[in-house]
Structure 1
Amino acid sequence: MPLLMAVSSLLFYWAFAYNLVRTDYSKLIMLYTSLFVLFYNIIIHLKHNTKALTYLAFGFRAIFIFALPNLSQDFYRFIWDGRMVLEGINPYLHTVESFISQGQFPVTQAVELRAGMGDLNARHFTNYPPINQLCFTIAALFASKSILGSVIVMRLLIIAADFGTLHFGSKLLEKLKLPSHNIFWYVLNPFIIIELTGNLHFEGVMVFFLVWSIYLLYTNKWMLSGVVFALSVATKLIPLMFLPLFYQWFVFGDANIIKKTPLKLRQVSNSDVSTNDVALSKTQLALSLTPRHDLWRGMTKLIGFYAIVILTTLLLFMPFYSSEFINNYSKTVALWFGNFEFNASLYYIAREIGYLFRGYNEIAIIGKATSILVVCFVIILSFFRKNKTIIELISAMLIALSFYYFTATTVHPWYIAMLLILSVFTKYKYPLIWSFVIILSYLAYVNVNSMDKSENLLVIGVEYLIVFGVFIWEVFIKKTSSSLEA
């Protein structure tokens, strides 16, 4: 049975990679659903054979090696940026359109890349951080004249990152005494294979550095952990929102536990000691074994960790620094909060309320308000939620990021990769469900060939009805039921 499921998966992945057009919605849903059902059953059947699961993860990814991404066109911009760097041009200072509109072609295959990436990408400045740019440049270095060649190089980098995640994720699960096969809910997930390996999204590289950083943190290598955490930030900025959550871990948590040397009970006879003396000695022994925290030491390490992360991140940005860079980059990042909207949930409800009272789209105001709300929520999690163990810390990251995506104006499918990897180390499974129903977001523009380009809110509503239903069950109802039973 596992062999039959593996062969079926290989055939479906091949069809997905080489014989699927994005607008063929029926085929898209059927292939993805079939792959997800097979993925679930493969793990159930082979969860005690991690070697076989690893081989399958390699094999499924290998199918995509020579395929051009068919669900996203972002890779054309990746190639453009990498070739710009290789030409010695700062990609943050120029839009693609600024060259093409003047008849200038600074990189090889400039016209094909511009046509492939579309108007939206071409009109705006790049928003991809330095580690992303490094990956793009490596692709340009090895394939400066071939789009497919560049795709292959970037795909190999993403696959390497996935197996780095497998390595450190497995080691972390082992240390936490959690089932080792849990990591395959991420590594073998069709969502991860298709969105990261297939569609070339570098969330996989960000995830790798984050998992590696958490592993180093748990093994008490917090300084090196800070450097690696900065690499995650310099791949995608999202991990920055986790920084406040480290407060309890360093100051009151496992990172700052100090155990006293146990006292030895005096060997005495009944004739020369009273019962009270023996009780006192036992009390001293118990106190000596009780963990304590050095607050000053914890705060020093926390500040040191923050300093390492911030300084390393700034150093990685330094090669691109200029006053224009700061202006262009900040404006581009701000677009995600005040201009773009896609596959949102609570934001769309707030938008409809804005239409009702003001008569127009309030995205600029709502985007700023939700940003402030997310910051406040993360601070509350940092100080008022118990985040003292590594599992509690990871759970807090998961809840914080979920809240951000629930309120965000734009939630592209590949964003869910971070939620999925964090859930591997927790009791929550709603990100796994989301990784399945997220395929519905590709059906949002069902009127792609007509004049009506608005999203289908019914499709988005079904997606989030499922996600919120599982989320509320796991986080609130199930937890309450367990407490009542206890």
Structure 2
Amino acid sequence: MTRKLKQLLILLIWLVISVGFFCLAYFVPRENFWLTLLIYTSLFAGTLATYLLSEQSKWKLIFIGGLLIRLSLLIAIPKWSDDYPRFFWDGEMVKMNQNPYLETPGNWLKNNPKSANPYLENLFDLMNSQGYFSVYPPLNQGIFYLAAVGGNLDPLTGILVLRILLILGEIGVFFLLFKLFDHFKMTRSKLILYWLNPLVIMEITGNLHFEGLVLLLLLAALFALIKDKNGLSGGFWGLSVGMKLLPLMLISTFFSFVKTRKSIAFWLGSACTLIVSFAWLLIDNSWIHFLQSLKLYQGKFEFNASVYYLIREIGFWIKGYNIIGDLTPILSSITLLGILYFSWKRKPENTHQLVDLWVLIYLFYLILQPVVHPWYLIPAFGLSLFTNKKAFLIWTFAVIFSYQAYGDPNYQESPIFLFLEYSILALAVYWDYFMKTDDMNSLSNGN
């Protein structure tokens, strides 16, 4: 293929990708599963084609193109997720000097009729968590507050403020990936796999989820660790926990990695940011309601699970009812033991091996969870780009099958699509962890 023909083909792919994202964000509801699947598949194929055709030196054009796609979604109302009304509700509570952890939205409206306004009532009607205490950590509440102040009782402006903040975070992710790829002597073209990935763009910029900021903080922690700024590294990791609790499960890896295990600066940095991040929960015993919501979330909700669904079916045959109450704590215990085992067994000797361990822990955790929303994959996917593992990249495509549930009038998940998604993932995991023999050798040269 001549260079001119390759450039023309890349330009055509970019046009298709741009139109596809615009359609998904503005015109295609999640209930229209087949059209969603068709466009999403085309976008994923376009991302892979761009990756295969683009030259490493074109990273500036890749950055500008991906940024323009994100900016084109600025005023789109999220169509794949209905979480954002709760974001704005919590932000309004903080703006009014109310504690979002003390009352459920339903109770607050009942107990504060004079403080209610049409904007809050509209948010309440749109909300999917009217009877639950907020489950979002205090750092999230700070971002919600900024959206509430910037939005000034206008949901479209609030969406715009949140999108700008998330896009700024994505820019940070791009350049940290760029720097880390150079450090690990990896091809910069892998940036394309993240920067144009349809799951990343739709779930962060499109649907306003914060996993992109979690990835930003984890990458910052890794970069600081490489630069021997252990205190700063611990601080960034603590902030990632404050943004979303899930990175807390990586704590055992810092005990198994000699550079952090013996670093007082790392643990002081971690402790300081964790205290700052969660101190608000000590006010008026907010932590009690926060933990109640987490426990309820873990013990009641089910979505896009794999191992959990298989064991649950066995429970139906034996017990005759849903054993979620008994099964969730058992799987949580197995997850904890597995994380401790992998951390003890792997004992990473350099940061490259540390990242590989993080990816394995995320994979093990998600496979055992009763709820696996698509955006949960993003931090692990971003980290996996530093390894030879392809499972999370493949999963960012296969996870679109989980949206079949929204196309069902009763929101019922189809066993066929679940089987298809996790069969694809199982093959990828088998390829990554049971067939390849050179991966750890390649990691042994990391710094």
Question: Which TM-score band (shorter chain)?
Answer: over 0.9
Offset of residue 304 of structure 1: 4.3
* CA distance, structure 2, for counterparts of residue 93 and residue 229 of structure 1: 27
Matches within 5 A, 1:29-428: 29-48=37-56, 49-101=58-110, 104=113, 105-106=115-116, 109-118=119-128, 121-249=129-257, 251=258, 255=259, 299-301=261-263, 304-428=265-389
- Assess if the C-alpha contact under 8 Å between 2:166 and 2:205 holds in 1: yes
Give the letter aligned to residue 405 of structure 2: A
- Assess if the C-alpha contact under 8 Å between 1:94 and 1:125 holds in 2: yes
- Assess if the C-alpha contact under 8 Å between 1:43 and 1:53 holds in 2: no
| 1:474 counterpart (428, 432, 447) | 432
Instruction: Give the match for residue 433 of structure 1.
Output: 394
Offset of residue 66 of structure 1: 0.6
Normalized against structure 1, the TM-score is what? 0.85
* CA distance, structure 2, for counterparts of residue 299 and residue 398 of structure 1: 19
* CA distance, structure 1, for counterparts of residue 111 and residue 261 of structure 2: 55
RMSD: 1.8
Give the letter aligned to residue 92 of structure 2: R
The gaps in structure 2 that reach 5 residues or longer are 1-8, 442-447
Secondary structure (helix, strand or coil) at the match of 1:90 reads coil
- Assess if the C-alpha contact under 8 Å between 2:231 and 2:270 holds in 1: no
Offset of residue 234 of structure 1: 0.7
The CA deviation string for residues 232-276 of structure 1, in whole angstroms up to 9 with x for no partner, is 111101110001112232x2xxx3xxxxxxxxxxxxxxxxxxxxx
1:10 and 2:32 matched = no
Seen in structure 2, the aligned counterparts of structure 1 residues 311 and 34 have a Cα distance that, compared at 3 Å, is: same
Give the letter aligned to residue 412 of structure 1: H
Give the letter aligned to residue 109 of structure 1: Y
* CA distance, structure 1, for counterparts of residue 407 and residue 144 of structure 2: 32
* CA distance, structure 2, for counterparts of residue 101 and residue 464 of structure 1: 44
Secondary structure (helix, strand or coil) at the match of 1:322 reads helix
Count how many residue pairs are aligned between Structure 1 and Structure 2.
Answer: 431
The gaps in structure 1 that reach 5 residues or longer are 256-297
Give the letter aligned to residue 417 of structure 2: V
Instruction: Give the match for residue 23 of structure 1.
Output: 31
**Structure of larger gyration radius:** 1
Give the letter aligned to residue 429 of structure 1: K
* CA distance, structure 2, for counterparts of residue 437 and residue 469 of structure 1: 12
User: Higher RCO, 1 or 2 (CA under 8 Å, sep at least 6)?
Assistant: 2
1:459 and 2:417 matched = yes
Offset of residue 321 of structure 1: 2.3
Offset of residue 313 of structure 1: 1.2
Seen in structure 2, the aligned counterparts of structure 1 residues 107 and 203 have a Cα distance that, compared at 3 Å, is: farther
Secondary structure (helix, strand or coil) at the match of 1:92 reads coil
- Assess if the C-alpha contact under 8 Å between 1:87 and 1:107 holds in 2: no
- Of 369-378 and 39-48, more deviation after overlay is shown by 39-48
Offset of residue 447 of structure 1: 2.8
Offset of residue 129 of structure 1: 1.0
- Assess if the C-alpha contact under 8 Å between 1:342 and 1:409 holds in 2: yes
- Assess if the C-alpha contact under 8 Å between 1:84 and 1:107 holds in 2: no
What percentage of residue pairs aligned between the two structures are identical?
A: 31
* CA distance, structure 2, for counterparts of residue 156 and residue 191 of structure 1: 18
Offset of residue 480 of structure 1: 8.7
- Of 412-421 and 314-323, more deviation after overlay is shown by 314-323
Offset of residue 145 of structure 1: 1.4
* CA distance, structure 1, for counterparts of residue 77 and residue 16 of structure 2: 22
Secondary structure (helix, strand or coil) at the match of 1:321 reads helix
- Assess if the C-alpha contact under 8 Å between 1:446 and 1:456 holds in 2: no
- Of 40-49 and 461-470, more deviation after overlay is shown by 40-49
Secondary structure (helix, strand or coil) at the match of 1:122 reads coil
